[in-house]
Amino acid sequence: MKKSLVAMALIGAAAVVMAMPAMAEEHKLSVYAWDPNFNIPALEGAAADYKENVDPDFELEILTQSGSSDVETAVTLAGNAGDYSELPDIVLFQDHYIQNFVATYPDAWVAIEGADIDWSDFGEEKLSYSIIDGQHYGVPVDNGTAIFAYRVDLLEEAGYTIDDMTGCTWEKFIEVGEAVKEATGKYLLCMDGSGNDLMYMMMQAEGGSQWKDGEPYITENETLKKVMEVIIEMGQKDILYLGNDWTDYTNNTIQGDMVAGVMNGNWIIPTIASVPENSGKWELTSLPTLEGGEGYAANGGSSLYITSNCDNVDLAKDFLAKTFGGSKQTYDYALTNGGVITCCLSAGESEVYGEGIEFWNNQPIYADIVAMSGKVPIIEQNDYHYQLRTLLGAAVVNCINGSDLDSELAGAEEQIRFQMGL
């Protein structure tokens, strides 16, 4: 009898030991992310939030990639092999790429429908990337809303204030740019010439797109032509500086004190703020427009997606819903420790977001950016976004150097149609 009891006890103990790893797996998720100073701290904060407030046994394994392209490559390789078993449960994915990847590898993803998320609490433009065939696939992480940041001390030297720039026309902007250049020697606008996003942001601020019904909309697009003419004029009048590459744009131009203005996705803020001697000299506002009035656009940003390799989809949905789906605690931590600005409108109403920032002349920039994010218009997107950006960027440089705009636009349209097989 004693032997039977001992045997049963041993069997029971073995069963508990065997069950422990399985139980642990029930509380664990893995995720790909790539920036130790930006999105990885945001994920760490989300994991701590979920562990503290929902599941004390929760664990998030963050698998650090060297860049977003590593995530895209991993999904591509898995999709081409028809084997998703090496993917993590969740991946962070760039907004501009996701629709192409869902179309190309539909079996790689799990829709997030059914998660307890108030989607009306997010800007419609941000969600437009991750809604595919009427279903939500992603939960937004970082806010790509575009800002126009100005050195208010340099504007003042030229006789202007940031109020003069808010809601101004591009014609007025050029006038101010000439005055700033004469008074200070600084450019009023800069951009990476090898990856020129000006056309896209300026078009979105007008509510227009470079695409129409899935095809390039270039030579017959009067708004695009006007936008290109503005950029070319700014380049020819030495108001706009186009960097040779990303390093020239960030390190030499912005951090090198060559400019009085920067227009880009708000993720450019840490680059601007990395020059401590400029503290208190910067403020930000919305974008100019062709006819006047405040313009709103977005550039960049990413969202979290569940892969088909996830064994615990319910846990993944619940984790995303109770963190990036609306938790002030998650987003306060993400902002404080990684500079990640929420896409969730109500989360942007926290005390942390409402604080004035000393570097930005005590402007509550984060609350302002979240408010702007709800005003960004939805425009038609396309999987060939970056290819067209390259072609139009080259056209700008050629026209600044004397080429004919109509000819350059016709050439860009011909080339992009060829690349698309149209």
- Residue 305, helix vs strand vs coil: strand
Cα 179 to Cα 396: distance, rounded to the nearest angstrom:
23
Paired residues of 319 in beta bridges: none
What are the domain boundaries of the chain? 30-144+300-349, 146-297+377-420
Q: What's the pTM?
A: 0.85
Q: What is the pLDDT of residue 24?
A: 55
Dihedral angle, C-alpha 219, 147, 190, 176, nearest 10 ° = 90
Closest CA to 260 of 155, 146, 157, 174: 155
In the block, tokens 């010439």 appear at 193
The fold for domain 30-144+300-349 equals D-Maltodextrin-Binding Protein; domain 2 (3.40.190)
Closest CA to 110 of 91, 86, 83, 129: 91
Cα 270 to Cα 245: distance, rounded to the nearest angstrom:
18
Architecture of domain 146-297+377-420 in this structure: 3-Layer(aba) Sandwich (3.40)
pLDDT digits (tens, 9 = 90+) for 202-236: 999 999 999 999 999 999 999 999 999 999 999 99
- Residue 291, helix vs strand vs coil: coil
pLDDT digits (tens, 9 = 90+) for 335-355: 999 889 999 999 999 999 999
**First-residue to last-residue Cα distance in the chain:** 82
Domains 30-144+300-349 and 146-297+377-420 share a fold: yes
Closest CA to 341 of 360, 321, 324: 324
Q: What is the pLDDT of residue 7?
A: 42
Cα 234 to Cα 254: distance, rounded to the nearest angstrom:
18
Q: Are 90 and 316 in contact (CB under 8 A)?
A: yes
Binned at pLDDT 50, 70 and 90, residue 15 comes out as very low
